[in-house]
Chain A
Amino acid sequence: MNIDELRNRVESEISSLKTLEDLKRVKASLLGRKGLFSEYLDTLKLLDKEEKKVFGKEINSLKAHTEARLKELEFFYIDDEKRKQDALSKIDITMPGKTPLLGKKHPITQTFEEIIRIFTSLGFSVAEGPDIEQEYYNFEALNIPKDHPARDMQDTFYVKPGVVLRTHTSPVQIRTMESQLPPVKIIAPGSVYRCDNDISHTPMFHQVEGLMVDKRIRFSDLKGVLSIFVHEIFGENTPLRFRPSYFPFTEPSAEVDIGCVICQGDGCRVCKETGWLEILGSGMVHPQVLRTVGYDPEEVTGFAFGMGVERIAMLKFGIDDIRQFYYNDIRFLSQF
């Protein structure tokens, strides 16, 4: 029996392999039931016991070796085949993908949510009140008596005598204090209305009111809380200042200005060359307002503030015309 001949034949068959098909054929012709190894093993029976043992061992070892090599080659050819197929189904990855539909919240809503996020993180809760409001809550209770200029018809929408569209969110201060005892720590976002319609006024706009009443609330606390707010919403390095002002329902009152976001304080058209932009009104709650809701100004003090949401959105996004918010033009809405 010639093992070398077997080895040579195996060697020549394997080295002639080129494809997966060849491999399958060669595998059958070598290892199949009627393959070469079977042939050799069959002839073993003709040998004597000693020879049988020697040749049998050699053949089986060669067979195992061949099997292993073919397996290896099979993996190689399968991978190769897959690569060829992948190449055939290749795509142009620069073709446009399918974007999901996008919707966005109105920039006023986005600004509202940002303001609310900041104040709720400072422990304020959110309160609400009606848009159609009694004159009492909109004016009298806020220390705006009957003969005050703010009561003029030209500013306030009337629904019927004694009932108005609220001109500010401040009535929520009164409603909240009437319904609970101190401490009070709320913000009140909402729509407000004034009879104005021109390039810088819309008949409806939005405000966020804030109120904090407790024992020993100081003007310095007002400065602290509003400074945190301004730095959160306009950035940590935004300069700000508190400037004396007048509101009937606060005393002392303060207007809060930030360094102009357009010109960085150098002076431009937006800030009227002053380098400062007014962004909110604030002050210590007037003792008369506290008395009106049955609080004792000797016991508790507080501060209140109010800001125009459009104003803040305009400064944040660089919008120069307030009416843009209400055209509802998709080319506007899709930018935010």
Chain B
Amino acid sequence: MKVPYEWLNEFVVLDVDPYELASRLTMRGFEVEAVEEYKPYLGGVCVGEVVKIDIHPNAKNLTVCKVRTEKEEFPIVCGAKNVKEGDKVPLAMVGSTLGGRFIIEKKEIRGIESLGMLCSEKELGLSDDHSGIFILPAEMKPGTKLEEMAGLRDFVFDINVPPNRGDCLSVYGIAREVGSILNQRAKLPMFKLNYSSDDEVKSLISLAINDTHACPRYVLRMITGVSMVSAPFWMKQRIQKCGMRPINAVVDVTNYVMLELGQPLHAFDYHSLKEKRIEVRVAEGDSVFKTLDGEDRGLVRGDILICDGSGPVAIAGIMGGENSEITDKTKDIALESAFFNPLFIRQTARRIGIRSEASMRFEKGIDLDSVDFAAERAIYLMNLTAGGSVVKGKQEIYEKKSGKSIFVSFGKIIDILGTPVEHNAIISSLRSVDLHVVKEEETGFVISIPNFRHDLDEYADIIEEVARIYGYDRIPATTPANASHSQKREKSGIFFKNAKDYFTACGFYELINFAFFSLKDIENFAISASDDRFLAVPIMNPISKDYEVMRTFIAPNILKAVAYNLNRGARNLRFFEMGKVFYAGHDTMPREYPSICLAMTGKEKDYFWRDACPEYDFFDIKGVLEGFETRFKVKFDFVKSNEPFLKEGRSADVLMERMKIGWVGEIEDNILSIYNIEQKVYCAELRFDIIMQKSITDIQYKAIPRYPQVTRDFAFLVEDTVPVTTMLEQIKTISPLITSIGVFDMFKKETKSIALRVVFQSYEETLTDETVNALQEIIIQKVAGIPGVKLRT
């Protein structure tokens, strides 16, 4: 809501700096997001009175005006048609500068000397109006500097009105708050209607409401014989400062009063109303209606319609119809001021997608009590600006509502705020925003809620009012009395953090991707339609096709990040992401669980002067997972994988206790090429929830052995068909004295040769040669007994 300081000043006495006021409003809950300064550049422009107008002797489209300032008279050649003798106009004298750049000079125009220029609003930088010379209020004294004209220099507050404070979507509403801040009472505008017509509204138009729940109050007032002129400058200025566009005096008045008092109004062309009747009704079926912007709008059951004798003339509170709108020829006006049920308006506005200044106010709830006051105010202003005769009386239907009242205890206020606010301070705070105590009791008081406050329902709301007015900054900062609870340690959260620490320690950068992807991403990974990963949760209203479903795995997103970085010149990347993936359930809520995804491509570094840096291969990424096993005491098994997006023979499924929990390997070239990646990428993705469940978090100390260990090396010739893991598993079973087995060499001549290092360790004695030799024999026997394995001699 934009609020001009100068307008606010009409309701309260603003003896306060605008910026100071802005910060005090902010601290009251009305955040002033910006203070816009209006400083039109009017140096050298003063008020002139047109004394005489003559036709230019050499050009019949021009006139020569004699314009008087305080002491002198100047001849000014002018092309505008709207100037009359006696008018007060802005005179830019010779030497003045308009808009900071355009210098006025003495000029001869078609043989007549012109000593200055009469200006339009646009030329003065006041508005876009260039239709004629800006006619100033008659009471302005010739010779006065135009800068001194009221309302030109101003500060406009852009206020973020809280969504529950519809009552402050008006200058007067804000003035009420300002009044409370400055210890004043905001004054309503004063005016008196001048009934100059003998007609009565009641005899000119009839009114009916078929649902007072939808519309508890509706007022019609009339004015006849208005002229369709432009609104006066001050009114247009204010409307513009509030962000609306002036149209003509009649329409502008309806907007002006809405901005001033918060009551949206609608003006009908009286003669276009069939049977001279207005009926407010709630639509019972579907129909189509053309609104004044020329659009056909579908209406449905539940929309509130304003109808005349033949059908709808407006969608209540949202937009009028083309069939009854004010035109240039309109003379007689029927003015609607009403209260429409916010829920109805909101539903209709949302459905047809219109959020107008009017509907926004109706949706939040306006002041039921001031509906007619606003109508009177508008008729008065129309009469003032567009002439015509005010028709006596009004048509009105008014379902009165009894005011709400709320009991609040003093103790509760003090308990909740945590500071002993005095009872008197509480009462006077509330009084300053029109919340009056109707009954005082020993422990508390009953307060009556005015009809414009739709946000106050229970004691907590009143406590907020007290706190707001008393000042949040006067409430101390304390520590909670019951501060110490035993704190639950979330195992999962800690495990998550430790895992992230592990991967960063391994040189991986963490990514965060949106949790969406597209079905195309699943297809890109060549995943079969029966795979669970197709059970993606769809978004009903996605922002784009790329984000149409919730992701079922992270790999496509991480691959996109790899591509993004490779395209920008990176060559070596190690990424991980830990985040949720989502699976649709039938009839149930979707399942979601954390997943961990890794990607590596390129090599450790481009070069290091001392050593060679080989390209990453399968064993680099597998090693990261094996390191994870050691770090978190989990056991993974790696078996051949059938994942369609991984290279056969360079990939593995990862199992825990024989259950598949993920995969690791090299991504297929054709999938990489979909993402425009031209180098090898190794990825892994694992179900983090299962790892978490199975990880052993309790660590038990094991005594450090007191006896030396013995190491023996073995070399075997191994056929390609035999996986090394079979040999290792075989050795492990031989004796508990075997504490570690490692592969320390692998080379291939005719057959593959694998060298193993076995460590023997006893906790009870120093191992003798005989013991170790015996075990060595068994190892050779068992391993060489595997088909395809021979001892190398």
* Residues of A near any B CB (own CB < 8 A): 95-96, 98, 100-106, 108-109, 113, 116, 120, 122-128, 130-132, 134, 147, 149, 152-153, 157-160, 163, 165, 183, 185, 191, 193, 195-197, 202-204, 212, 214-221, 223-225, 227, 241-246, 251-255, 272-274, 284, 286-288, 301, 325-331, 333-334
Contact = CB atoms under 8 A, between A and B. Distances in A.
A328 B419 contact: no
A219 B164 contact: no
A227 B541 CA distance: 39
Contacts, number: 240
A214 B490 contact: no
A128 B593 CA distance: 12
B353 to A, nearest CB: 10
Label chain A's interface by main secondary structure. Answer: mixed
24 contacts: A98-B611, A102-B507, A104-B509, A130-B589, A147-B342, A152-B350, A158-B539, A196-B543, A203-B514, A218-B415, A218-B478, A219-B417, A220-B417, A241-B27, A242-B472, A243-B26, A245-B31, A251-B461, A253-B464, A284-B416, A328-B565, A330-B509, A330-B570, A333-B509
In the complex, the 10 A-B pairs of residues with the closest C-beta atoms, listed nearest first: A101-B507, A220-B418, A218-B418, A244-B29, A252-B464, A246-B162, A103-B504, A251-B460, A223-B477, A328-B561
Interface string B449-488: 0000000001111011001100011011111111111011
- Which residue, B31, B476, B480, B512, has most C-beta atoms of chain A within 10 A? B480
A111 to B, nearest CB: 11
B38 interface: no
Interface in B330-369: 342-343, 346-347, 350, 363
A270 to B, nearest CB: 13
B481 A216 contact: yes
Given A191-B580, A204-B516, A218-B480, 19 more contacts: A103-B510, A123-B487, A128-B490, A132-B589, A147-B343, A157-B542, A158-B539, A185-B485, A203-B514, A219-B417, A219-B475, A220-B477, A221-B478, A223-B475, A252-B468, A326-B513, A329-B564, A329-B565, A333-B511
Contact of A125 (B165, B490, B543, B544): B490
A24 B484 CA distance: 79
Nearest to B160: A245
Interface residues of B, number: 97
A217 B508 CA distance: 44
B347 A147 contact: yes
B574 interface: yes
Contacts of A126: 490, 493
B510 A105 contact: yes
A120 B487 contact: yes
Contacts of A255: 31
A230 to B, nearest CB: 11
B419 A220 contact: yes
Contacts of A100: 507
B29 A243 contact: yes
A319 to B, nearest CB: 14
Contacts of B463: 251-252, 284
Nearest to A145: B343
Nearest to A150: B163
A329 B386 CA distance: 63
Nearest to A286: B460
Contact of B589 (A108, A134, A195): A134
A307 to B, nearest CB: 17
A203 B543 contact: yes
A329 B568 contact: yes
A146 B509 CA distance: 43
Given A103-B504, A246-B165, A124 B487 contact: yes
B318 interface: no
Contact of A163 (B26, B488, B589, B604): B589
B506 interface: yes
B509 A245 contact: no
Nearest to B504: A103
Contact of B506 (A101, A116, A165, A274): A101
B500 interface: yes
